[in-house]
Amino acid sequence: MNEPIPVIRAVDHGTARLLPDVDRERAWLLTVDDAPQSYVDLDAPEHLEFEYARRLGHVVDCAAAPGAPLDVLHLGGGGLTLPRYVAATRPGSRQEVAEADGALLELVAAHLPLPADSGVTVHAADARARLEATAPGSVDLLVADVFGGSRVPAHLTSVPYARAAARALRPDGIYAANLADGPPFGFLRSQLATFATVFGELALIAEPGVLRGRR
């Protein structure tokens, strides 16, 4: 049996690499410009390698009764790790993914294809534009995991964006975002303040070491 070999491609926003995991037969690490983006195990989509992905997975697990399907909108796609997780743990879910890098989506579709019955529809589209085109009150869970380099794009951090997110959600819907920041957490604090103007309840999930500035 041939060993899998890395795949390197120029995509719209840099150079993407798919690197095989030597310890898991059909698992791959996706990087863009050497920054880790996604980890996908094609044989075990419920496996979440990255810590932040496990945190988002916990939100998925608590969003409804175990196994109940959800309507999910993902802003940011990468290797489609979380859509695969939702499809595996909540069969029958309807999921939409907005990923601005069309060439990256083509790479993922070619080498990390979704199961035919995944219920996932992928769009090469700007996250904010796709969100604003979403029917009001149609989403149970909205997941934002969008980065330009190491930063969340500015048009996904404003009060109007938070209002658009709330508008897309059902009354008991959940907005979950992956945010990157470090001490003194100015961006994190500003995002909590921004979303507090729109959402009545907020929760911050992180390892204590991160909040203490050690990681």
Domains of the chain: 48-211 (3.40.50.150)
pLDDT at 210: 87
- Compute the distance between CA of residue 8 and CA of residue 54 in angstroms, rounded to an integer: 27
pLDDT at 110 over 70: yes
Query: Strands, DSSP E only, in 22-85?
Result: 27-32, 35-41, 71-75
pLDDT-derived band at 118 (thresholds 50, 70, 90) equals very high
Backbone angles phi, psi at 183, to 5 degrees: -50, 140
pLDDT at 143: 98
pLDDT-derived band at 148 (thresholds 50, 70, 90) equals confident
Q: Which tokens hold the place of 110?
A: 């070619």
> Cβ of 105: how many Cβ atoms within 10 Å?
20
C-alpha distances in Å from residue 132, one per residue of 10, 12, 126, 144, 196: 29, 23, 10, 14, 20
pLDDT at 207: 87
Structure confidence by residue, pLDDT tens digits, 44-102: 999 999 999 999 999 999 999 999 999 999 999 999 999 999 999 999 999 999 999 99
> Cβ of 171: how many Cβ atoms within 10 Å?
5
Please, what is the Cα angle at 46 between 40 and 47, to 5 degrees? 55
In order, the DSSP letters of 3-24 are PP--EEEEETTEEEEEEE-TTS
Structure confidence by residue, pLDDT tens digits, 197-210: 999 999 999 989 88
pLDDT at 191: 97
pLDDT at 1: 54
pLDDT at 151: 84
